[in-house]
C-alpha cells in the first residue's frame, strides 16, 4: 500500500499543502496523513506518528520532499529504522529516492548528512555574525511587537473582537495575540490570589 504524508509549517501555507496532496494523489497514495505543524516541534507531529504506526509490511511511506518529513539526520534515521522494523520503505518524490533499494537508503543517509552539515555551518556563521555585530555595538534585538501592542490587543478583545481579527487589524500573528491574552489572564489570576 502507498501511504502519503504531507506537512506544512503554518496554517498560512495552504497552497503548499494542496500541492503536496496533488503530488501524492498522482503517484497513487491510497491513504494520506496531513498536518500543519513546525518541523522543529517533533513531539507535536501526531499525524506523522499515526502514519508510522499505520504502515505495514510491504507498504511504502511517500513524501514529496525530505524537509517535509525529518528535521535532522538522527530524526530521519529514527524514521527509517521504524519503517525497516515493519518491513516498509520510504520514497521521496523530489529526490527520486526509494529506500526499498540499498542504493536509495545510502543516498538518503548521505544527503541527509549533507543537509544537516549545511544547516550547522549556516547557524555557526549566524552566531559569528551576531557576535561581531554585538562587539561593534550594532546588534539590536528585534522589538517585541506583540508586547508593544498589548494595550491595543486587550482593548480590542474587551470589545469582543476575536483573536484572528485582532491579529489581522494589528499586523500580528494569532499565536502572539493568544500569548498577550494568556499573560493578561495570568496576571489577573495572580492579583486575585493575593
Domain ranges of the chain: 2-115, 145-193
Report pLDDT for 90.
92
Catalytic residues: 9
**pLDDT (average), residues 123-141:** 86
Which ranges constitute the DSSP H helices of the chain? 14-26, 46-54, 73-86, 102-135, 145-148, 150-158, 163-170, 174-193
Confirm if 92 and 63 have CB atoms less than 8 A apart.
yes
Give me the half-sphere count of Cα atoms (radius 13 Å) on the Cβ side of residue 94: 10
Count of residues for the chain?
194
Give the cell for residue 73: 539526520
- Sign of torsion over alpha carbons 71, 73, 75, 80: positive
Gyration radius of the chain over CA positions: 22
Q: pLDDT category, 88, cuts 50, 70, 90?
A: very high
33-42, 50-59, 134-143: the lowest-pLDDT one: 33-42
Q: How far apart are the C-alpha atoms of 70 and 39, rounded to whole Å?
A: 7
C-alpha span between 171 and 53 (Å, rounded): 40
pTM of the full predicted structure?
0.56
Q: Pick one of 1.20.1250, 1.20.120, 1.25.40, 1.10.10 as the CATH number of 145-193.
A: 1.10.10
Average pLDDT, the chain: 83
Instruction: Flag whether pLDDT at 75 surpasses 70.
Output: yes
Q: Which CATH superfamily includes the segment(s) 2-115?
A: Resolvase, N-terminal catalytic domain (3.40.50.1390)
Amino acid at each position: 500500500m502507498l501511504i502519503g504524508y504531507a506537512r506544512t509549517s503554518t496554517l498560512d501555507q495552504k497552497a503548499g499543502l494542496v500541492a503536496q496532496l496533488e503530488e501524492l494523489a498522482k503517484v497513487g497514495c491510497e491513504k494520506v496523513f496531513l498536518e500543519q505543524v513546525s518541523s522543529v516541534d517533533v513531539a507535536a507531529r501526531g499525524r506523522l506518528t499515526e502514519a508510522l504506526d499505520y504502515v505495514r509490511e510491504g507498504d511504502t511511506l511517500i513524501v514529496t520532499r525530505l524537509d517535509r518529513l525529518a528535521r535532522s539526520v538522527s530524526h530521519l534515521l529514527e524514521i527509517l529504522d521504524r519503517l525497516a522494523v515493519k518491513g516498509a520503505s520510504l520514497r521521496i518524490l523530489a529526490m527520486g529516492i526509494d529506500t526499498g533499494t540499498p542504493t536509495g537508503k545510502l543516498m538518503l543517509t548521505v544527503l541527509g548528512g549533507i543537509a544537516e552539515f549545511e544547516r550547522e555551518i549556516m547557524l555557526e556563521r549566524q552566531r559569528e555574525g551576531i557576535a561581531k555585530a554585538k562587539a561593534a555595538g550594532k546588534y539590536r534585538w528585534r522589538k517585541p511587537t506583540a508586547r508593544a501592542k498589548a494595550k491595543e490587543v486587550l482593548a480590542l478583545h474587551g470589545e469582543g473582537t476575536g483573536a484572528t481579527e485582532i491579529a489581522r487589524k494589528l499586523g500580528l500573528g494569532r499565536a502572539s495575540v493568544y500569548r498577550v491574552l494568556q499573560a493578561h489572564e495570568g496576571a489577573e489570576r495572580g492579583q486575585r490570589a493575593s
